[in-house]
Structure 1
Amino acid sequence: MGVTCLLIVGAIYLLWWIPTKGLANIHPELPRIAGLIFAVLSSIALFGTLLLVLTTALSKDILFTRFMRGVVIKFLLPVIELMGKLIGISKDTIRQSFIAMNNSLVASQRLQVRPDRVLILLPHCLQLFDCEIKVTGDINKCVRCGRCDIKGLAELAQRYNIDISVATGGTLARKVIIEKRPKLVVAVACERDLTSGIKDCYPLPVIGILNNRPFGPCINTKVDVAKIDEALRTVLA
């Protein structure tokens, strides 16, 4: 993110420097005015980056945290992904960092949400592929055999009295969120689905928990239930 910000500042400087060669011919004061404008834009970019770093490092809402989440999600992430592609950093590595930063920014808001306004959203691949009882749409169908992590997650949601849903894809996940209208979502998925889900849900705060894929993507995946428990305890009123 820091490198991206410096490149943006460099681009801003070039946008100022190139026109100055012609602006002076129009009016002698135009280069100075343009320089002031671009100096302000550069200062805003640098200040915003510093504020993001401090907010993430301290997990404290310093200034404009919700707005900065939007800047990271809508603007910085696509630029950083492009930068990563150019210098050989994989998309998943960048997405992991993005999810971690998003979680830090959400944590810095120190939200306190009632259990009935929290939603745990799970991918269907957490359930065993050959299980005859499909829990999509109603996790209470689970017989709690313990062969997959659905058992522990269902018990966790029951303990805190929190809504929990299993979705087969992004479209169903969005439908569940629209129907239940939570104030905060704790979502489990892979890097790609979590990143797109966080982007689609903004400004709704989402805490992302990456799943483990010992058998490859989209089949018999796992998740650390303790991480979800920890995330819930930090936000539940």
Structure 2
Amino acid sequence: MNEPHIAEPSRKRLFIGLISASCFLVCILLVLLWVIPYVGLDAIHPSAKWILGILVLGLGGLVCWAYWGLFLNIVLKRPIPGSRRFRGLTIKLFLPLMVMLGRALGIDKKAIMLSFISVNNELVLAEAGTYPPNKILLLMPHCLQNSKCDRRLTYDINNCVRCGKCPIAGLLDLHDKYGVHLAIATGGTIARRIVVQLRPKLIIAVACHRDLSSGIQDTYPLPVFGVMNQRPHGPCLDTTVALPNVEAALLRFLDKDHAPDARGKAIGTGQATKL
């Protein structure tokens, strides 16, 4: 069985380089926040500039602490105190800065998103535990379904006849084998509704780099492990996914105490999810 896909060295280097530059820029902005009004603050109170300086120093220390914590988490590949907060800061603060900085430097946005997804996966691997099958959601994009298929799978995955012309049949096999939830979403709104209804503890999502990046941001703090789809016919048309990668990720997060006792049956689980 293949190991869950994690960051390639080049993607990790790009991520670390951009996040280092982003952290440096934030610190510079904080220093400027203190220096620019330095003279004018004397008119307010003699101690005003020092109070502001202490606040700026504290914020700068917080940014540097988050940066080094994230850096060590990536390099050491093991959970460290505050790892969940580091992932949150990456999603909410550093990613938008990295995209803006990358655009200014002429770095392709896709490369930045791929580096973010890879590092996010490593952070999820480091911080997440294991969960019973009914707390894991396999969330799939509708473009995995064969474009000539007239079966509607978004609201009932069991409508699939498992003809084998698309990866859905293999994903249903994983659903039956391990008892996890399986759902197909046609967009972000439906995906969010699925998450609200099922309340999973962990999502293994398959999508393109753009949808994975936005999905990881939308569902935080819920951990999302992303698996890139393959697009032999271009975006949003008859895409596919490496099922061994999905299964490897599933086995990493599946609680062995709730492992299935027979094919098609799992302890503590029910039928396929109907939405």
Range into which the TM-score falls when normalised by the shorter chain: over 0.9
- Normalized per residue, the structure richer in helix is 1
> How far 1:4 sits from its partner (Å)?
0.4
What does the per-residue CA deviation read over 1:29-72, in whole Å, with 9 as the maximum and x for residues that have no partner?
Answer: 54444333322222221121010011122232212122222222
Equivalent in 52, 75, 95 of residue 57 of structure 1: 75
State the distance in 1 between where 2:58 and 2:89 align: 18
RMSD: 1.7
* TM-score computed with the length of structure 2 as normaliser: 0.80
- Tell me what 1:9 maps to: 27
Percent of paired sites with the same residue: 43
Cα pair 1:56 1:108 within 8 Å, conserved: no
Q: In structure 1, the residue corresponding to 2:154 is in which secondary structure? A: coil
CA gap of 1:110–1:173, structure 2 versus 1, over 3 A, is closer
- Tell me what 1:232 maps to: 250
Q: Which runs of 5+ in 1 are unaligned?
A: none
Cα pair 1:5 1:45 within 8 Å, conserved: yes
Which moves more between the two structures, 118-127 or 150-159?
A: 150-159
Cα pair 2:128 2:223 within 8 Å, conserved: no
- Tell me what 1:147 maps to: 165
Q: In structure 1, the residue corresponding to 2:125 is in which secondary structure? A: helix
Matched residue count: 237
Equivalent in 85, 93, 99 of residue 81 of structure 1: 99
What does the per-residue CA deviation read over 1:93-134, in whole Å, with 9 as the maximum and x for residues that have no partner?
Answer: 111111112211111114111011111010110011012333
What is the identity, as a one-letter code, of the residue corresponding to 2:40? Answer: G
- Tell me what 1:132 maps to: 150
Cα pair 1:119 1:163 within 8 Å, conserved: yes
State the distance in 2 between where 1:33 and 1:203 align: 33
Which moves more between the two structures, 50-59 or 133-142?
A: 133-142
User: Does 2:53 correspond to 1:35?
Assistant: yes
State the distance in 2 between where 1:219 and 1:21 align: 60
User: Does 2:213 correspond to 1:195?
Assistant: yes
Bigger relative CO (Cα 8 Å, ≥ 6 apart)? 2
* TM-score computed with the length of structure 1 as normaliser: 0.92
State the distance in 1 between where 2:47 and 2:251 align: 58
